[in-house]
Every structure is written in C-alpha cells, then in structure tokens.
Amino acid sequence: MTVVARAQGLTKKYGSAQALTNINLTLEEGLIYGLAGRNGSGKTTLLAALVGQVIPTRGSIELFGAKPSGCVLARTHFQRTHLAYPDGLKVRDVLRLASLAYPAWDETLADTLIKDFALTPAAKARKLSDGQASALGITVALASRAELTLMDEPYSGLDPVARAIFYDRLLADFALNPRTIVLSTHLLNEIAPLLDRVLMLRDGALVLDGSHDEAATSAHEIAGSQDAINVYLARTGLADAIARQRTIGSLVTALLAAPLTETNEQLAASLGVHIQPVSLQDSLAVHSDATYSPLLEPQGGRHD
C-alpha cells in the first residue's frame, strides 16, 4: 500500500463555525474514492485542505510523504465546482496554461475530450454555461494526469449524455494510467460502479471510510406485515435503527441504518419478512443525518 495523502487530526474553523473536526484519513495509490455528504458537511473544505488551499486550524496533512509544498502540489489537481476565469481567457488558453502546469499533461486526451464535449476552443471560458464549464474542468482534470486528482462535484450542469462520456473516459484513462482520484458527489448510484472506496462526512466529521461493498451493505430494507416487522425489530434490537418506514395497505417497509447479518437474514426468512435490495445512495443517505446512527463514531463528536 502506497499512501498518497494522509490527514491526521485535521480540524478547520471559520470563526465560531466548525467546518472539519478531527479528520483522520488516508488516501491510497491507484484507487477511486467517492466523497459523500449533505451540503455544508465539509466536502469542499476537506478537498481544498488536502491540496493546501485551506490552512487547517489544527492537525496535519502529508502529500506523498511530505508536507504540502510547491514541488509536491505540482503532482496534484483540484477541480472546483465553480471557477471564475479572467476576462478574455479562451478555452484553448485554459488548456495551454494547464499543459504548462502539469508535467504529465496528455494533449491527445485533452483534444479528445474537447471533441467529446463539443467545446469550442475559441470560446471565452468565462461565458461558458455551467455544463460547458464543468466539461472544461473535467478535461483539465483528466488530461493533467495528476497523481492525486480531486474533483468537486465535477458533473455539475452536465446532461446525462455528457455525464456518461465523463464516466467512460475516466474509467478508460484510469485503466491505462492508474492514479488516486476523489470524486465529491451527490449522484452516488450513478458513479457507484467507478468507486473503490466511499468516504462520508457529516457535520464536518468522518463517519464512514470503507470499501464500496461495505458502504453498499451498511443498511438494509425489510418488508412484510406490521406484526412480522414488529417481531423482527424486537428480536434484532433494530427498532432505533429505522431511518424510514412506509405503509401501503397491509405491507410495511422499513429502511434500517444497520448492516444485514446472516442471523438476521435467517430470522427474516422464518418470519416471512422480505429483504429488499438497497441502493448505495439510500444506504449512505441514512447515515448522512445526525438523527441516524453513524457507521463510525464521528471522530470529533457531534456538531449541531
């Protein structure tokens, strides 16, 4: 295991507002991470801190085994959601400047992506639509071939066809040129096939750092009669883990913020309770709110 980035006790405050609390995190070489969390949970602050764009209040960050510095940061790329380009700067100018900044820049890949996204090289970057600006950001991020590439909601404004192009190109290039990629996203179901690991922030605290499979199985849904559901919840002790419950006629479904164990699965079968598959999106959503039990104890405690 080669560690690309490490955060220890990472805490960031803006005045009295706590943005990040005691984050302990390791990013490994050659993996694609999904970074999830509700708006305001600290995702952008964490990404910016990892590449030295936000100075921690407490804690430390290492990139490639060293403190962030000019030579180390040249091996990273951070694609922000909204970037204000200077007046007069054209798409081709953005690509030219990026080619000078990144030693491993791939001009062929950049040209391919520009064509895929139907971007006009002579267009002014400042005048691009949200989707076009995201496409330009994706082009720079992928063509940079940076060893650590952080992308903050890169799909913003992209239509389904453009998002599919992004995912296809990312996977194809990643297969040829493995590196560490972190995708901050709300479209977890859509990007799930891309991910090796999933990170979840809640109120600035890290509440999940697990493999894709661990994240996907961190919750389960049950369906059956009210009596059968009540017995299942009583015997498993999962009544407090209910994240959502619905009743349609005589059928009750309940989404539980707890993994499904083999023992509980056998109990469900004996009671006539059906286990329903849960999407990665739903599985993580139940842990993104402070009213639900986290998968890990928040590393800095709860912040209201």
Average pLDDT over residues 9-33: 96
CA distance 168 to 157: 18
Assess if residue 296 is contained within a domain: no
CB 287 within 8 A of CB 38: no
Phi, psi of 193 (to 5 degrees): -65, -15
Q: Are residues 76 and 156 in the same domain?
A: yes
Q: Are residues 184 and 232 in the same domain?
A: no
Q: Are residues 45 and 187 in the same domain?
A: yes
CA distance 142 to 145: 6
Percent of the residues in the chain that have a pLDDT greater than 90, as a whole number: 68
SS3 87: coil
Mean pLDDT for all residues in the chain: 89
Assess if residue 64 is contained within a domain: yes
Assess if residue 292 is contained within a domain: no
For 32-73, strand residue ranges (E) read 32-36, 58-63
| Model confidence pLDDT, tens digit, residues 36-52 | 988 889 999 999 999 99
pLDDT(298) > 60: no
CA distance 264 to 200: 26
Q: Are residues 9 and 137 in the same domain?
A: yes
- Give the bridge partners for 71, in sequence order: none
Q: Are residues 29 and 113 in the same domain?
A: yes
* pLDDT value of position 38: 85
pLDDT(303) > 50: no
* pLDDT value of position 289: 61
Assess if residue 288 is contained within a domain: no
> Nearest 5°: CA angle at 278, between 273 and 281?
155
Q: Are residues 54 and 183 in the same domain?
A: yes
| Model confidence pLDDT, tens digit, residues 172-219 | 999 999 999 999 987 777 888 899 999 999 899 998 898 888 887 888
- Taking CA atoms, 131 is separated from 167, 187, 212, in Å, by 15, 16, 28
Q: Are residues 117 and 201 in the same domain?
A: yes
Assess if residue 291 is contained within a domain: no
The range of the structural domain enclosing residue 234 comes to 220-277
| Model confidence pLDDT, tens digit, residues 225-275 | 999 999 999 999 999 888 888 999 999 999 998 888 999 999 999 999 999
* pLDDT value of position 301: 40
Assess if residue 299 is contained within a domain: no
DSSP string, 281-300: HHHHHTTSSTTS--SS--TT
Assess if residue 157 is contained within a domain: yes
Number of separate domains in the chain: 2
| Model confidence pLDDT, tens digit, residues 57-103 | 999 999 999 888 877 888 999 998 877 788 889 999 999 999 999 99
Q: Are residues 253 and 186 in the same domain?
A: no
Question: At 54, which CATH number?
Answer: 3.40.50.300
Assess if residue 20 is contained within a domain: yes
